[in-house]
Amino acid sequence: QVQLVESGGGLVQPGGSLNLSCAGSGFYFSIYDLSWYRQAPGKERELVATISDSGDSTNYADSVKGRFTISRDNAKNTVYLQMNSLKAEDTAVYYCKTTLIFDYWGQGTQVTVSS
């Protein structure tokens, strides 16, 4: 079955960095676009970044442009989100998602930015 498993979250101080990973299995990983979303307490889930199947095309939410970088390694069936210059408002649960016929989500990883 299709599975997405995120890792790499944690507690970091403002200005710090984290690198999230999302490992996919149960589907032909390299032919699907992948996305990172996040959901802060009391807020709706929002799109953070998307990467095309080959990795040649990426898109970012305005709030993270210049600070976050999405990438993928199709040989490892893994998508990454490098997060730099983190702010308190980046605190959220981060999810990866892919769409085959249906949307598939990972279980999420908590990112907390606090001093």
What pLDDT, on the 0 to 100 scale, is given for residue 57?
97
What pLDDT, on the 0 to 100 scale, is given for residue 114?
97
Q: Average of pLDDT values for 93-113?
A: 96
What pLDDT, on the 0 to 100 scale, is given for residue 40?
96
Q: Average of pLDDT values for 29-57?
A: 96
pLDDT band for position 14 (50/70/90)?
very high
Distant-in-sequence, close-in-space partners of 53: CB < 8 Å, separation ≥ 6: 30, 31, 32, 33
What pLDDT, on the 0 to 100 scale, is given for residue 60?
98
Q: Average of pLDDT values for 36-44?
A: 96
What pLDDT, on the 0 to 100 scale, is given for residue 16?
98
Tokens of 55: 């990795």
Residues in the chain: 115
80 membership: H or E segment, kind and range:
strand 78-83
Q: What percent of the chain has pLDDT over 70?
A: 100
Calculate the average pLDDT of the chain: 97
